[in-house]
């Protein structure tokens, strides 16, 4: 994959920018393992409804992932995420899955998100945060980037979905393993990895100059 090396370089540049400051996690600038997950409230979904973390209270484990339509990495992972969602689907499922997009470019806005859901058949909420605040609260910097929350809604894993952007070379299913551990009330063997993907496009606001 041509974009694999680029993604690794981007990830390195992103995390190196925090080397001189206090970093919460090994690879996350905001959250550490064991932290309470930020709670989103009334984020609009492509289903026309508003969604909150509280809506998933029946699920013992929640997987939150930041994604978008325009990133080739995010697109590459769609089928893997869909297979994960199918495995853990069902009325009595103990695992909840939610996707969040915060990019503000045209190809990632709600109309395009709705088209993506129709094309791929997402059976999980796909939410949009125009303020981009939820990505900042999670310390999410890439698409895709995953967070596994236990029944107390504490972060038990964050990072990549698995150990290779190339589906044919995957050996370790990080998110799947973290979910299994959380369901068993345990900590996963791997708790944090470097998320490899496209940078989330956080809008930079220029400060007004004062005379």
Q: Which domain holds residue 94?
A: 2-199
In a domain, 55, yes or no: yes
* 67 in a structural domain: yes
Domain count, the chain: 1
162-193 per-position pLDDT tens digit:
999 999 999 999 999 999 999 999 999 999 99
* pLDDT < 50 stretches in the chain: 1-22, 211
- Is the alpha carbon torsion for 54, 96, 129, 28 positive or negative? positive
On whether the CB atoms of residues 90 and 124 are closer than 8 A, the answer is no
How far from the centroid of its chain's Cα atoms is residue 195's Cα?
Answer: 9
Whether the CB-CB separation of 177 and 188 falls below 8 Å is answered with yes
Q: Which of 83, 69, 68, 59 is nearest to 145 (CA)?
A: 68
CATH number at residue 40: 3.40.30.10
Total residue length of the chain: 211
In this prediction the pTM is 0.87
């Amino acid at each position: 994959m041509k974009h694999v090396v680029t993604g690794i370089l981007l990830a390195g540049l992103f995390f190196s920018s925090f080397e001189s400051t206090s970093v919460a996690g090994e690879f996350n600038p905001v959250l550490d393992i064991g932290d309470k997950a930020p709670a989103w409230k009334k984020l609009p979904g492509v289903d026309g409804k508003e969604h909150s973390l509280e809506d998933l209270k029946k699920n013992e484990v929640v997987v939150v992932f930041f994604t978008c339509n325009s990133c080739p990495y995010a697109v590459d992972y769609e089928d893997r995420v869909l297979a994960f969602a199918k495995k853990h689907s069902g009325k009595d499922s103990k695992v909840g899955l939610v996707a969040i997009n915060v990019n503000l470019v045209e190809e990632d806005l709600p109309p395009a998100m709705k088209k993506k859901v129709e094309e791929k058949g997402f059976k999980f909420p796909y939410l949009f945060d125009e303020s981009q605040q939820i990505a900042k609260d999670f310390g999410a910097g890439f698409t895709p980037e995953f967070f596994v929350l236990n029944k107390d809604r504490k972060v038990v894993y964050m990072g990549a979905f698995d150990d290779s952007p190339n589906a044919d070379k995957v050996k370790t299913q990080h998110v799947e393993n973290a979910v299994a551990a959380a369901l068993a009330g345990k900590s996963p063997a791997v708790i944090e990895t470097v998320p490899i993907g496209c940078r989330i496009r956080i809008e930079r606001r220029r400060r007004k100059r004062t005379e």
